[in-house]
Amino acid sequence: MTVRKVLERKLGVSRKLLSRLKLTERGITVNGERVYTSWKVREGDLIELRMEQEYSDDIQPEPMELDIVYEDRDLLVVNKPPGIVVHPTHGHYTGTLANGVVEYWRQRGEKVRFRPIHRLDEDTSGLVAIAKNPYIHQQLSEQLQAGKVFKAYLAYVYKVPDPAVGTIDAPIDRDPESPHIRIVTAGGYPSITHYETAAVYRQGAASKVKLRLETGRTHQIRVHMKHSGCPLIGDQMYGFAADPLCGGIPELEAVVNRQALHAAVLGFTHPISRKWMEWEAALPEDLVRLEKSLVNEQE
């Protein structure tokens, strides 16, 4: 087989990345010698790929306390607190997770570009995976698109889903009148959320729900739970604040000032070891307080 076939078929290297490697000094070598991708390899040959170190020059390093769940030379998994944007956007140039991670790498002497595999809403807490080189980013992005990344969430919602366990299959798209808001609409993008009721509080006035995404649309869980008649507690865009008639409870809204949603579990196949890896993040303090208030009221 040629080097190209080995890289594309065995390692899944994309054509785009392969083109970059060909232009990189000693980007592709066989037994230490630089070769063309048409070079034919034999059993026992050692193929090495070298990617240029990159730095996020457009992201200002900023000291930040990070809850690092896992890190190796290729990958970083962080438990993001609520109220933090993942990547700088218009109006959020500092104070983002990216600012803190870039500073963390700078202090360690690592020249790495910030490449999140997926993102969470500003007010959603939980696990975020960040690739430390282009190959890892490409591989995990493909797993994500193929539905091979496991993402499980915990949410505290009003009322109780009916049935208690089920799947919400409802397409989502932008609201034509308010483009920053998503709605369920027949012409939207396919969106599937699996859920399971984990606990019921206050005689059915609220519940804790475990959710697993099959697709990853913007605001998907929040939109789907509103669509099912069980909006998230504290959700300023799709919940009680946006629609006081949804059956919300004002004192619960005061316990959390954000949607009660936490990305609790994240799992995927590590592109290098080819082994399945899975992480779990404990509930943040505000959701622990919310659950205690629900349980105490129930008792």
What is d(CA 276, CA 273) in angstroms, rounded to the nearest whole number? 9
Q: Which residues are catalytic?
A: 121
Nearest alpha carbon to residue 227 among 143, 159, 148:
159
Task: Please name the residue that has the structure tokens 């306390």.
Answer: 65
What is d(CA 261, CA 82) in angstroms, rounded to the nearest whole number? 9
Nearest alpha carbon to residue 236 among 123, 152, 153, 158:
123
What is d(CA 163, CA 11) in angstroms, rounded to the nearest whole number? 43
How many whole angstroms from its chain centre is CA 28?
Answer: 31
Nearest alpha carbon to residue 297 among 231, 250, 252, 241:
252
Cα within 13 Å of Cα(50), Cβ side:
13
What is d(CA 68, CA 10) in angstroms, rounded to the nearest whole number? 31
